[in-house]
Structure 1
Amino acid sequence: MSDLQSQFEAAEANSKLLSEKPDNPTLLKIYGLYKQATLGDNAEKKPSFSDFVARAKWDAWTANKGQSQDEAKQGYIDLIESLRG
């Protein structure tokens, strides 16, 4: 297992232990980076505009399009670490 993968898995565990719940825009950023890091570019069909939650998640993931999975992992790690204070 690579060092980056180990750090990513640790950040994933730490994300569940944050002292305060992040605001919704930050939660969406976390979600988008996680999906990009684990699955790569979003190839799913765009949800209906009326499905606000699914659409927000889709947009958050798609915002990372073109970013490598390793770059997304590092971004996820950095974001979780910044939230831990």
Structure 2
Amino acid sequence: MTNLKDTFESAVKESKELPSKPDNETLLRLYSLYKQATEGDLNTGNPPAMFDFVAKAKYDAWLKLQGTSADDAMEQYINLVAQLSNKTN
């Protein structure tokens, strides 16, 4: 049986091979879950510039996951990729 990290790494690969690109909200969710799973809580010391809208959106999405464990973020990421795979198949 594979462990959570192996399943997560497989989901990361699968997310890059989806037949259709997810909407921006879903992409932000994938990004923030990935960052939380791999790096943990966001270091809030240097927020992005006010007019860097993409960086600000990523920052805010990751910040919302503050306190989420790496394992929980991995599980959420895996489930989201599975949902996206089922929608496109």
Does TM, normalized by the shorter one, top 0.5? yes
Residues matched between the structures, number: 84
Which whole-Å CA distance do the structure 2 matches of 1:64 and 1:81 have between them? Answer: 20
User: Which 4+ residue blocks in structure 1 deviate beyond 4 angstroms?
Assistant: none
| Aligned match of 1:27 | 27
Q: What aligned pairs does 1:1-12 form with structure 2 within 5 A after superposition?
A: 3-12=3-12
Q: How many Å apart are 1:63 and its aligned residue? A: 1.1
Structure 1 alignment gaps of length 5 or more? none
SS at match of 2:80: helix
> Which TM-score applies when normalising by structure 2?
0.90
Which whole-Å CA distance do the structure 1 matches of 2:77 and 2:47 have between them? Answer: 23
Q: What residue identity is the alignment partner of 1:73?
A: M
> Which TM-score applies when normalising by structure 1?
0.95
Q: How many Å apart are 1:47 and its aligned residue? A: 0.8
| Aligned match of 1:75 | 76
| Aligned match of 1:48 | 49
SS at match of 2:37: helix
Which whole-Å CA distance do the structure 2 matches of 1:60 and 1:19 have between them? Answer: 24
Structure number with bigger Rg: 2
